């Protein structure tokens, strides 16, 4: 029986407590509102929509592989390469400012990236009543699965391709103190911050788009295997990203692959084409902080560590053979076999560790 209905001394206590609970609830509501107050209305950045999931590649690759083009908003497009073009299935990013467009990466293997990008830039130009907008092609880093379409892009009119190397990136963006310095690059009413983050690869950069609050992190942070080639440089780069983003609005951290499944701590095997249950692409600053904390807990003894949404993975590829596709020796031409050897440690047997 309910004590309050009996009218005994307990019901007196309940009556006395009711207003206290109401006040506590009100305070909680007010406090929640206050906590959100500093960044109302989407934090003042231009919003957009990411897909709930990306279309998986045809499991049998019986159809012609195409990029999946997603319009985040009318000035920002995401291109996802099909696994049937190349198992790496990288993401490419296309941002429009008032004077220039920027394509970040050109994909892996053989694709029709030039045709697809031109189609989007032509449509954007006609929508905005302008002549064809000049295009700059830069890269998150110089690995082959991010630069394969460079030659095709160079052949397009009104297009500048940044040379994918440390010196090429330094010269184009005007770095004087690489990698400590952050520089800006303006697409016309759209300022980007360019942050050097060597470690995965020597010429790795992150880009922060002030307009959308998106941080592009390349292969340095994404839901997958974070291969670290130069550990001391990587640790400093992550710290640089943590410092840079402090106090800034970071709406999304977008890397260039998805290798994780939706099951925590579980990734797809190397070479997987069909990923119907893949992890979402977008991460946030919390993942950056998680990565930073994991690195500092290692206290200089760098090692492989699986986290919920990504794995830190020391490798050694740059010191083997910089001329081959994955720096695995010219005799191994199968990219899946190359990557298998990289991650199994077979490539590092005679290589001194960098830490
Ligand atoms: Zn990559």
Residue with tokens 């394969």: 148
pLDDT digits (tens, 9 = 90+) for 135-173: 999 999 999 899 999 999 999 999 999 999 999 999 999
> Is 157 within the bounds of a domain?
yes
In angstroms, what is the span from residue 206 Cα to ligand 1's centroid?
14
CB distance 281 to 223 below 8 Å? yes
pLDDT > 60? residue 132: yes
> Is 124 within the bounds of a domain?
yes
> Is 76 within the bounds of a domain?
yes
CB distance 89 to 83 below 8 Å? yes
In angstroms, what is the span from residue 255 Cα to ligand 1's centroid?
9
Lowest mean pLDDT among 26-30, 168-172, 188-192, 322-326: 322-326
pLDDT digits (tens, 9 = 90+) for 216-265: 999 999 999 998 888 889 999 999 999 999 999 999 999 999 999 999 99
Q: What's the half-sphere exposure (Cβ side, CA atoms, 13 Å) at 50? A: 16
pLDDT category at 99 given cuts 50, 70, 90 is very high
Domain that holds residue 106: 65-314
> Is 264 within the bounds of a domain?
yes
Residues 6+ apart with CB under 8 A from 296: none
Q: Positive or negative, the Cα torsion across 333, 334, 338, 344?
A: negative
- What gap in Å lies between CA 274 and CA 259, rounded to an integer? 11
In angstroms, what is the span from residue 83 Cα to ligand 1's centroid?
13
Beta strand pairing status for 76-80 and 68-73?
Answer: antiparallel
State the pLDDT at residue 131.
87
CATH of the domain at 108: 3.60.15.10
What are the angstrom distances between the C-alpha of 26 and each of 16, 31, 35, 39, 98?
A: 17, 8, 14, 22, 47
- What gap in Å lies between CA 78 and CA 258, rounded to an integer? 14
Q: Of 122, 129, 121, 142, which Cα lies nearest the Cα of 77? A: 121
State the pLDDT at residue 16.
47
Number of structural domains, the chain? 1
In angstroms, what is the span from residue 244 Cα to ligand 1's centroid?
23
Percent of the chain with pLDDT over 90: 66
Region 82-108: mean pLDDT is: 96
In angstroms, what is the span from residue 80 Cα to ligand 1's centroid?
13
**Global pTM value:** 0.84
In angstroms, what is the span from residue 216 Cα to ligand 1's centroid?
13
In angstroms, what is the span from residue 351 Cα to ligand 1's centroid?
22
In angstroms, what is the span from residue 227 Cα to ligand 1's centroid?
9
pLDDT category at 3 given cuts 50, 70, 90 is very low
Backbone angles phi, psi at 151, to 5 degrees: -60, -40
> Is 91 within the bounds of a domain?
yes
pLDDT > 90? residue 189: yes
pLDDT digits (tens, 9 = 90+) for 64-85: 888 999 999 999 999 999 999 9
> Is 168 within the bounds of a domain?
yes
In angstroms, what is the span from residue 254 Cα to ligand 1's centroid?
13
Lowest mean pLDDT among 9-13, 116-120, 154-158: 9-13
> Is 321 within the bounds of a domain?
no
In angstroms, what is the span from residue 59 Cα to ligand 1's centroid?
21
In angstroms, what is the span from residue 7 Cα to ligand 1's centroid?
71
In angstroms, what is the span from residue 257 Cα to ligand 1's centroid?
7
In angstroms, what is the span from residue 234 Cα to ligand 1's centroid?
16
Joined together, the tokens standing for residue 128 give 């905005």
pLDDT averaged over every residue in the chain: 85
In angstroms, what is the span from residue 145 Cα to ligand 1's centroid?
5
> Is 55 within the bounds of a domain?
no
pLDDT > 60? residue 266: yes
């Amino acid at each position: 029986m309910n004590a309050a209905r009996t009218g005994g001394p307990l019901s007196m206590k309940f009556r006395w407590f009711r207003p206290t609970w109401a006040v506590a609830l009100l305070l909680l509501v007010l406090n929640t509102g206050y906590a959100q107050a500093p960044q109302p209305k989407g934090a003042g950045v231009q919003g957009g929509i990411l897909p709930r999931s990306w279309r998986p590649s045809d499991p049998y690759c019986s159809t012609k592989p195409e990029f999946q083009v997603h319009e985040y908003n009318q000035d920002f497009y995401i291109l996802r390469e099909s696994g049937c073009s190349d198992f790496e299935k990288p993401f490419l990013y296309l941002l429009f400012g008032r004077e220039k467009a920027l394509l970040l990466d050109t994909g892996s293997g053989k694709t029709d990236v030039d045709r697809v990008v031109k189609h989007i830039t032509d449509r954007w130009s006609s929508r905005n009543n302008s002549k064809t907008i000049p295009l700059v092609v830069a890269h998150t880093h110089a690995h082959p699965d991010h630069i394969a379409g460079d030659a095709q892009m160079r052949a397009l009119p009104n297009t500048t391709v940044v040379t994918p190397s440390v010196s090429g990136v330094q010269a184009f963006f005007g770095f004087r103190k690489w990698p400590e310095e952050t520089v800006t690059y303006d697409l016309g009413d759209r300022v980007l911050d360019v942050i050097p983050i060597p470690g995965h690869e020597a010429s790795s950069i992150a880009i922060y788009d002030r307009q959308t609050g998106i941080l592009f992190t390349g292969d340095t942070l994404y839901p997958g295997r974070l291969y670290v080639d130069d550990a001391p440089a990587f640790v400093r780069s992550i710290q640089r990203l943590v410092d840079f983003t402090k106090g800034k609005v970071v709406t999304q951290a977008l890397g260039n692959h998805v290798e994780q499944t939706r099951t925590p701590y579980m990734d797809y095997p190397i070479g997987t084409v069909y990923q119907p249950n893949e992890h979402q692409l977008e991460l946030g600053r919390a993942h950056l902080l998680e990565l930073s904390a994991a690195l500092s807990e290692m206290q200089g003894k760098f090692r492989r560590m699986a986290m919920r949404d990504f794995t830190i993975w020391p490798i050694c590829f740059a010191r083997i053979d910089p001329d081959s596709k994955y720096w695995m020796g010219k005799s191994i031409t199968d990219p899946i076999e190359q990557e298998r050897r990289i991650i199994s440690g077979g490539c590092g047997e005679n290589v001194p560790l960098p830490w």
